[in-house]
Structure 1
Amino acid sequence: MKFNIKLNSAETLEEIEHYWTNEDYIQLLTLFNFPDAKTIQPENLREMLFMAISDFEPNEAAEIVLTYKLSEDLNEGQISQISNDMLLDKICEEYPEINLHYALFNINQLLFKAYNGTFLNCKATLVNFEIEKPRDFDDEITKEIVLKSFNNGLSDSNIIKRLFTENMSTETRFEQAEDILWELNHKEGNNYTFITSEYWMNKDEIIASEFEGDCLMAKVEEEE
């Protein structure tokens, strides 16, 4: 299948504003021993959380936030290790379980802002694009379709193309697309946006503003 892609914009983000909710801030304030967190005005929650976090050593704060967000995915030993490694490396890019990269990015950037640079600054990429479906295609646009279709518009240095050459250019299933693209949002008509790590795709690696995307999908086996 061929999907026509038109790039409207690509920009670099240092944080994903809607990721942390006011309820998250309240819960975290409580974990950081801040009294009466529920009485704080919503517009002040983030600033107060940063003040509360600053009373802790960076690795201690990282451990608290990691536990709050990822205790169902990581054990205490893993959380302790990551809380120390985050001060030295971009764990949200390097951690082997890529399904955790989205959460790790947002945790890292919360701590980066709270400590004014003690943690490394990681970045994301927001892409606004149009995708025109083939006339005989009535299914949903998925993350897999988007990534495969973008193959022709990315530079050869792009790490997705280098690590997942077969998945991007053949009928091989691309299950990792679900974790590589953190968000895929349908706006209206043919307009979509996606967010991914700058590690996976930076805005300068999109080398064409309009291109035809060849999307080879695995055949669905019919149930007997």
Structure 2
Amino acid sequence: MKLNIKIKSIYTLDEIPNYWTNQDYVALLAAFGFADGNTIKPENLTEMLFMAIADYEPNEAAQIVLTYKLSNDLNEGQIDQLSNEMLLDKVCEEYPEIHLHKHLFSINQLLYKAFNGKFPNAKASSIQFSVLGNDSNELSKSDILKAFNSGLNESNIIKRLFGEPMTTGAKFPEAESLIWELNTKEDSTFQLITSEYLIDRESFINMEFDGEILNEEE
């Protein structure tokens, strides 16, 4: 299937909208020793959480947030290691388990803001684009990245690491983790969120290009 892609806007985000819920903030407050979080007005939850986090050493705070969010994915040793590495490196860009990158980014940014920059400042990209040549608005994350291939420059990290699925009918399960959010807008317009490390404005050769999606092999 051949498509025409037109990039309408690319801008930088320092958080994923609505990733953290008020329920998360209340639960995290409890994890940091503040049991009455449910009595705090919603508009004050973030400020109170940052104050509670700041009472801890940065690596201790990281360990608590990592345990809250990723204890089903990581063991205690992995969490302890990450809690120290996060102070030095953008682990949300480098961790080998790419399905955790979205969560590590959001954890990193929560800690970055709570500690006024003691953690590295990671960035995400929000890309809005239109797609012509598609009969419906039902394109998967794999479809989008395959269609993007011809518009990305040769140095793009996704293109370099996943050249085969990007250019063939091979299955591309990693696309589910590489694109953090994919939303359908009106008039064949889409919006995706991913790591700025993976795709930024400089990643595109042109803002309009033709892409092709080969049917995935069974």
TM-score normalised over the length of structure 1:
0.94
Matched, 1:218 2:210: no
CA distance in 1, matches of 2:56, 2:92: 22
Aligned to 1:129: 129
TM-score normalised over the length of structure 2:
0.96
How many residue pairs are counted as aligned between the two chains?
218
* Structure 1 ranges of 4+ moved more than 2 A: 137-140
Aligned to 2:104: 104
Aligned to 1:144: 142
Aligned to 1:58: 58
CA distance in 2, matches of 1:107, 1:139: 32
CA distance in 2, matches of 1:15, 1:5: 26
CA contact (8 A) 1:173 1:217 kept: no
Pairs within 5 Å for 1:152-167: 152-167=150-165
Secondary structure of 1:171's aligned partner: coil
Pairs within 5 Å for 1:1-224: 1-134=1-134, 137=135, 140-220=138-218
CA distance in 2, matches of 1:173, 1:140: 17
What per-residue deviation string (whole Å, max 9, x for no partner) do you get for residues 134-169 of structure 1? 4xx558200000001011111111001111111111
Secondary structure of 1:184's aligned partner: strand
Displacement of 1:199 after TM fit?
1.3
Q: RMSD of the alignment, in Å?
A: 1.2
CA distance in 1, matches of 2:182, 2:39: 35
CA contact (8 A) 1:12 1:203 kept: no
Secondary structure of 1:192's aligned partner: strand
State the AA in 2 paired with 1:121.
Answer: N
CA contact (8 A) 2:137 2:184 kept: no
Displacement of 1:70 after TM fit?
0.4
Unaligned runs of 5+ in 1: none
Secondary structure of 1:8's aligned partner: strand
Secondary structure of 1:12's aligned partner: strand
CA contact (8 A) 2:137 2:188 kept: no
State the AA in 2 paired with 1:186.
Answer: T
Secondary structure of 1:96's aligned partner: coil
Q: What percentage of aligned pairs have identical amino acids?
A: 58
Secondary structure of 2:72's aligned partner: coil
CA distance in 1, matches of 2:27, 2:158: 36
What per-residue deviation string (whole Å, max 9, x for no partner) do you get for residues 15-39 of structure 1? 1131011110010011111141111
CA distance in 2, matches of 1:180, 1:35: 36
Cα 1:90–1:14 shift into 2, 3 Å: same
CA contact (8 A) 2:170 2:217 kept: no
State the AA in 1 paired with 2:210.
Answer: E
What per-residue deviation string (whole Å, max 9, x for no partner) do you get for residues 81-129 of structure 1? 1001101111111110000000000000000000011000101100001
Secondary structure of 2:46's aligned partner: helix
CA distance in 1, matches of 2:137, 2:189: 16
